[in-house]
Amino acid sequence: PPISKLKLYTDSSLPVLSLEVPLNNGKSSKAGSGGDVDKRTLMDRIASDSPTPQEDAEFESLRRDIRTAIDSLGNDEERDVLLNRFGLDDGNPRTLGETAHRMGISREKVRRIEARALNKLRHPQRNYMLKEYVENACSDNRFNSGDGFVEKREERMNN
């Protein structure tokens, strides 16, 4: 009876599959490709571009700290300009003109308010909690994606 139980358990267990197993068992990726070996693994096949739980937590922490820094300005007009210009409420950054129209003020006034608010945020008493994010992002090359994202965003923000 113990041997029959052992056989039952081994027959009913599912085979373990490593995520590092090669997809093509080391075969060439294309017939007659000159010996190029396809080294992709099962993990490569099921990889996701979705943020990890740690990245989600970091992002939420950053959002909270940015909002705290902006709220510390103590000026509703400065807060509203920054929230609109950088899309911090809804994820849609707005141009000077769009922000001016929404707030019922001139583009020049929006530009001055934005400059004043950003200068305040550069003060060490307000930006100390945000510096760590920038330092970590720069060391991880998050701002150097190579796809022009930062440049395109800056171009849109200056219009």
Is the pLDDT reported for residue 155 higher than 60? no
pTM over 0.85: no
Q: Is the pLDDT of residue 127 over 90?
A: no
Q: Which amino acid is at 138?
A: C
In the numeric block, the tokens 């020049």 are attached to 108
C-alpha distances (whole Å) from 148 to each of 25, 86, 139, 153, 156 are 37, 18, 18, 9, 12
Q: Which of 152, 86, 156 is closest to 118 using CA atoms?
A: 86
CA–CA distance, 19 with 27 (Å, rounded to integer): 18
pLDDT band for position 36 (cuts 50, 70, 90): low
Phi-psi region of 32 (alpha: psi -120 to 50; beta: other; left: phi over 0): left
